[in-house]
Structures are given as structure tokens and as C-alpha cells.
Structure 1
């Protein structure tokens, strides 16, 4: 091995060690319980103004439930649907309405609909700020996914300013 090739080999080894010596941990941001509650209340109120009795769920970035509110006449099914819409939005980092369009029968991602907990219907939104996923919000019980989606957007709008950094 020539001195020149030895230097190149040493430089390559040092670069490889530097790449593997990166930090072994990272930081993430999550919604506070207070922010999750504010978002859920705002979504519920928006739906009430439209005359809809719904359930609203807010999950953290891992999909774990933080807040669940069900209006007094919200159907029994709305609790599970709202939780699963919030979970789906956080898991896929997209709105459940967008996921519904992308997973129609015959589309390449159609199989996603067969996964447990996945809800491919409007009403779930990812909660994001500064390019980071913070959680998800799901609404169920309004007539149609568009109405559920509108309530979910209202919930996010209620906390958006406090999320930006």
C-alpha cells in the first residue's frame, strides 16, 4: 500500500466512524393535554353550531388517545370512529379524506384499507407545526366526511398559533 492510498483509506475509515458516531437519541414535540383539550372543544363547538352531535378524539404523535369528547346525542359508533380517524391521520401523516382518495379500489394503495384501525373517510387530520407531526384529531358523527373534516380543521385552527415556532 502506497502512502497516498493509505491516507485515502484512513480518511474513508474516519468518515465512516464519524457517520456511525451520530447522536443515539433525538427530541420530538407533542401536544400538551391542554392543547389537545382546546382543539377537541373547538371541534365539538364547531360541529354543534352546524347542528351535529359528534365525538372528537385527539391523539399524540404515536396515536395514543389524549382527549375524547362525545356530545350527549353522538352515536355510540362515533367514539371508536373518531379515535380511529385521529389515529389514522397521525399514523399516515395526512388527512383521512386524502387517504380515502388514495386508497380507492383498484389504486396501488387500496390494500391499506384492510389494516386494523385505518379509517379512509373524511374527518381525521394530522396536527403539524414546524414540519413536525404533533398528533392527530378525528371527528365522527356529522353527516358526511366533509362536515367531520370541517370540524377537525376548526379544532386545529384553535391551537395553530400556539403550535408555531
Structure 2
């Protein structure tokens, strides 16, 4: 019995003590000015390519920061852009990749039935310095690839600012 007690005491002395979890945490968010800069850059890229789109920027929790709708973009595009951005932020992945991962023949296809999930191209996660800042959603270009191109331009316009 004394040997077992001695072994238990020795184990307690060499094992690291349990660390209490922090009571709070810090997150990174884009400023409204940064979100607007991204949206304007994405809109400019789409205009240059001849596309009239809506662009949405959400923070990492999916809260809308900016929505821009070009004058001839379809009526559905602001809502679709917000939902694409929300989807990318929620699943922490670009919507083109989510579309592939949740196709009809996949075990995850049911995700597409959730409200607000829009698993088509045009939603991209904004990450810098290893931290998610939010997401960009673009809707209205002739394809998801074109929406992605405009979203990428939006991210490229602010990534250096976020990496500082």
C-alpha cells in the first residue's frame, strides 16, 4: 500500500499541473474602412471585367459590415453575396471548395439544406497572420469562377493591411 501511495505522489509531482482555461479571448476584425476598401476593390475588378455584381463583407461571426450593389446587378445579388460571405465565414472555407465537398453524392450534402448556406463560387474567407477576419461574397458575375476572381481582388486589396 505504501508503495502504491509513493508511486501516486511521484506521478503527481512529475505530471504538469492542469491549466485553468482563460475566461476570455481576443479576436481580430476588419475595421469598417478596411471592409469598404475590400468591397470597392472587388467591385472595380468586376467592373473592369464587364460584370455588374453585389459584394458583401462580413466579419468572422457572419455579421454584415458592407454591402455594395452595382447599378445593374440583379435584384437577388445583394442577398446572395451576403449568404456567400456568411457561408465562407461559418464553414471557414471558400464556397467553391464547400460546393465540391457537399455535392449530391457526398455524405455532407445535407449541409446545403441549411438556411443561409450558399454552396456556390463567390464566397472567400479573409485570413491574415493565421487568423480569420471575415469573408467576402460576390454575386452577379456569369459564373462562380468570375465571382471568385472579384472576391480574390477584394482580399488582395487589404491583405497587406491585415498582415501588419
Report 1:47-66 matches (<5 A): 47-66=46-65
Name the CA distance, whole Å, in 2 between partners of 1:104 and 1:13: 47
Mapped pair 1:97 → 2:99: no
Match of 2:147 in 1: 148
SS across alignment from 1:37: helix
Name the CA distance, whole Å, in 2 between partners of 1:110 and 1:55: 27
Report 1:1-165 matches (<5 A): 1-2=1-2, 3-8=5-10, 10-11=12-13, 15=17, 18-19=18-19, 21-165=20-164
SS across alignment from 2:120: coil
SS across alignment from 2:80: helix
Shift of residue 22, structure 1, vs aligned partner: 2.9
The TM-score, its normalising length taken from structure 1, stands at 0.92
Aligned length: 162
Name the CA distance, whole Å, in 2 between partners of 1:56 and 1:144: 14
Moved over 4 A (4+): none
Cα deviation, 1:42-65, whole Å, max 9, x if unaligned, reads: 000100111111100000000000
- Unaligned runs of 5+ residues in structure 1 are none
Cα deviation, 1:49-87, whole Å, max 9, x if unaligned, reads: 111111000000000000000001111100100000000
Cα deviation, 1:65-121, whole Å, max 9, x if unaligned, reads: 000000011111001000000000111111101111111101121111011101111
RMSD of aligned residue pairs (Cα, Å): 1.6
- Unaligned runs of 5+ residues in structure 2 are none
